[in-house]
Amino acid sequence: MNDPNRVPLDVSDLGFSTSAVQAGEARQKPESAITDPIFCASTYTFPDTASVIRYIEEGQEREEYGRYGNPGEKVAEKKLAALEGGEDAVLYASGMAAIVGLLMAKLNAGDEVIFFDECYHRSREFCSKHMSRFGVVTRQVKACDYDAMEAAINENTKMLISESPTNPHLSVVDLEKFAAIGKKHNVETLIDATLATPFNVRPIDYGVDYVLHSATKYLAGHNDLLAGVIIGSKTQLESVRKLRGIMGGINSPHNIYLLLRGLKTFSLRMERHNRNGQAIAEFLESHPKVEKVYYPGLPSHKYYEVAKKTMSGYGGLITFLIKDADWRKTADVIDAVKIPRIGPSLGGVESLIEQPLVMSYFQLKPEERAKFGIFDNMIRMSCGIEDAEDLIADLKQALDSI
């Protein structure tokens, strides 16, 4: 373990792309292979009883049983912590497993959490339907209403939670304000930064306690796996890691290999996602059949100034409204595109398109959908890394066809 060849490169003064490729990885790996191997092992053995005792007493860094971690996962955790500028990272089998794992580890009966109301519908559902069964109270306030968030804090409040940017409205949280409210009231803060990624924003730099990602999206980036991660301080994540060892929501070694492979090109992919997102958002805004575009990189966006201040790029997710269209006419646009496939998810190399009304909110009544700001004429597109000109030409022919 003290072999200098096993120590990863110190990336603290190196660039983001160098970190994405090199951080967390031993200089020399098993069998001198350049890649980290996939260890298909449910358990890890000891040569004798004395070694078991040494492992327990000295807290040696090695594996024990697969539910507590595996070697590839440790590499991915170190890499993700380095990219995010955090001390430690805990990986999970999905983004939702990460949210559930964090909240279960941190909240007790009688505690309260406050959410900005624009959030991933399953996070909201977990809190309102399940944390409530354990006596945790969830309060929701309007997204980016900092006064309302502060007013909702009381002596039981334990965590402030938001996404940034939010999905699908792309509202951008002023992280300085958000973190300051938490610090002032001694309440922990969590940002789900899945849509931004550490390439575009690093909430920990603003004083946010925990950053969460569905690594299924941009971090893995190839629409081929599910994973989730929480980044924060070692002390704050200790109880989170312990509970994960009990709940077992861990990633398989195969999955981790794909995640590590995806992360090598993270910077390159994000540059393209950002460029495609900006170009396509500008095209959509200029099209006469488009009523409104939600994209933080457009000066018309409600949170453009906050985004410009805190983000270095705005990602590949765009939401837009079709002018004078009911849900069927909107669906006609989706059915007319030829390059993006119809499906949920985002952040992968392949472009995806969907109608939130149909994909995620079809069973809700129109009044309920309106409450969440989901309109019948809304389309959400995740721009992949194809050529922007091709995607624009495709969207143009689809819009012109209705």
Closer Cβ to ligand PLP, 164 or 236, answer by number: 164
CA 65 – CA 247 distance, rounded (Å): 14
- Contact predicate 228/240, CB 8 Å: no
Could you say whether residue 223 binds ligand PLP (CB under 6 A)?
A: no
- Contact predicate 136/91, CB 8 Å: no
Closer Cβ to ligand PLP, 195 or 385, answer by number: 195
Could you say whether residue 278 binds ligand PLP (CB under 6 A)?
A: no
- Contact predicate 83/77, CB 8 Å: no
Q: Of 359, 352, 89, which Cα lies nearest the Cα of 229? A: 89
Which residue shows structure tokens 């490729």? 21
CA 63 – CA 203 distance, rounded (Å): 31
Q: Which residues pair with 341 in a beta bridge?
A: 352
Q: How far is CA 23 from CA 66, 83, 196, 397, in A?
A: 23, 8, 20, 44
What strands, in cross-sheet order, belong to the sheet with 210-214? 88-92, 228-232, 210-214, 188-192, 157-163, 112-116, 137-141
Please, which of residues 18-37 interact with ligand PLP by CB under 6 A? Answer: none
The residue range among 92-100, 127-135, 320-328, 357-365 that interacts with ligand PLP, by the rule CB under 6 A, is 92-100
Q: Of 157, 163, 77, which Cα lies nearest the Cα of 122? A: 163
Provide the CA 144 distance to its chain's centre, in angstroms.
Answer: 19
Q: Using the rule CB under 6 A, which residue among 101, 228, 249, 356 binds ligand PLP? A: 228
The residue range among 67-75, 91-99, 284-292, 333-341 that interacts with ligand PLP, by the rule CB under 6 A, is 91-99
CB of 97 to ligand PLP, least distance (A): 7
Q: Of 120, 185, 175, 129, which Cα lies nearest the Cα of 152? A: 185
Closer Cβ to ligand PLP, 193 or 280, answer by number: 193
The residue range among 25-33, 136-144, 214-222, 393-401 that interacts with ligand PLP, by the rule CB under 6 A, is 214-222
Q: What is the size of the binding site for ligand PLP (CB under 6 A)? A: 14
Please, which of residues 93-132 interact with ligand PLP by CB under 6 A? Answer: 94-96, 120
Could you say whether residue 216 binds ligand PLP (CB under 6 A)?
A: yes
CB of 355 to ligand PLP, least distance (A): 17
Residues 376-391 as b/e (b if ≥16 CB within 10 A, e otherwise) read bbbbbbbbbbbebeeb
Q: Which residues are catalytic?
A: 67, 120, 192, 217
Closer Cβ to ligand PLP, 171 or 290, answer by number: 171
Closer Cβ to ligand PLP, 70 or 123, answer by number: 123
CB of 332 to ligand PLP, least distance (A): 26
Closer Cβ to ligand PLP, 216 or 236, answer by number: 216
Please, which of residues 154-213 interact with ligand PLP by CB under 6 A? Answer: 163, 167, 192, 194-195
Binding region for ligand PLP (CB under 6 A): 94-96, 120, 163, 167, 192, 194-195, 214, 216-217, 226, 228
